[in-house]
Amino acid sequence: MTLGVELELLRALHATRRAVVGAVAYDLVTLEAIAAAGEATGCPVIAQVGSSAFGLVHGPALIAAARAVAGSATVPVGLHLDHSRDLDEIRRCLDAGYTSVMIDGSRLALGANIELTARAVEVSRPYGAWVEAELGHLSGDEDRSTGAGAGEPTDPDEAARFAADTGIDALAVCIGNVHGRTAAPVTLDLGRLERIAAATPVPLVLHGASGVPDAVIAAAVGLGVAKLNVNADLRAAHLGATVAHAAADPTGDDLPGALAASRQALTAHLTSLVQAYTA
Ligand SMILES: [Zn+2]
């Protein structure tokens, strides 16, 4: 049983300027690809199964699948709740075996965000789970690309206060990154990232890593980003492989073949990310 990416592991990656890949999964095909990428590289990986997936499929069943995949993997596979705004949901997921959670109070004013986040930390501690929170606000939709522009940037001084007052273990930053693919290339404010990293010792998290050039991601990891969230590129790889398989399939019903093609495409994409930033 290797369920979980422990806080010590996240901190060790941070200390050596590497980053774990947090991949959003809506189904079993993606969950298997995440574990396969970890195993192909010998590196820890994190499967992120969140509220939006629960709306598409039966939450407990998907969580059980994630636990089964993680439990039989030969590398640590974390099970992470992404962008939760609800302490009850956090409790339910921790009861179900999640090993880390993200409380997202980024739409709130600073004081209210601190209050909500501190409560999430309090709820999570007895489970031994670590907590990520967001300061500033990332724009865009978490489940589909909307062409959003950059959101509200993270203020380095506020980040120092936020981390100290809440006791969080990881901080999601907004430095020009956006959820989903964008029409114009995203520009990350690496100077701001450097100031945030200098202001707080906690590992930083970059959401919306899809579509950001490799060299820019590498620079961000070098400055203290220890977790990279990917979703849009995975959705595109998943759908792209399915569509390509269907287009080349004269029978029009080779679903098993399409699922295998998607799993292969997802594994290849994730393996290259893990190899580049975690290994
Ligand atoms: Zn996000």
Ligand 1 midpoint to CA 255 (Å): 30
Q: Tell the burial category of 271 from Cβ atoms under 10 Å away from its Cβ (0-12, 13-18, 19+).
A: buried
The predicted pLDDT at position 141 comes to: 83
CB 226 within 8 A of CB 14: yes
pTM of structure: 0.95
The predicted pLDDT at position 203 comes to: 98
The predicted pLDDT at position 71 comes to: 94
Quick one: residue 258, left, alpha or beta (phi over 0 = left, psi -120 to 50 = alpha)?
alpha
Give the active site residue among 82, 155, 169, 233. Answer: 82
Ligand 1 midpoint to CA 36 (Å): 23
Ligand 1 midpoint to CA 260 (Å): 27
Q: How many whole angstroms from its chain centre is CA 29?
A: 17
The pLDDT tens digits of the residues spanning 45-54 come to 999 998 888 8
Ligand 1 midpoint to CA 263 (Å): 23
The predicted pLDDT at position 1 comes to: 38
The predicted pLDDT at position 57 comes to: 78
The predicted pLDDT at position 4 comes to: 79
Quick one: residue 187, left, alpha or beta (phi over 0 = left, psi -120 to 50 = alpha)?
beta
Ligand 1 midpoint to CA 240 (Å): 22
Ligand 1 midpoint to CA 143 (Å): 9
Mean pLDDT of each 10-residue bin along the chain, 279 residues long: 78 98 97 98 96 82 94 96 95 95 96 98 97 92 80 94 98 94 87 98 95 94 98 97 96 96 98 98
Tell me if residue 143 is catalytic. Answer: no
Q: What is the 3-state secondary structure (H, E, C) of the chain?
A: CCECCCHHHHHHHHHCCCCEEEEECCCHHHHHHHHHHHHHHCCCEEEECCHHHHHHCCHHHHHHHHHHHHHCCCCCEEEEEEEECCHHHHHHHHHCCCCEEEECCCCCCHHHHHHHHHHHHHHHHHHCCEEEEECCECCCCCCCCCCCCCCECCCHHHHHHHHHHHCCCEEEECCCCCCCCCCCCCCCCHHHHHHHHHHCCCCEEECCCCCCCHHHHHHHHHCCEEEEEECHHHHHHHHHHHHHHHHCCCCCCCHHHHHHHHHHHHHHHHHHHHHHHCC
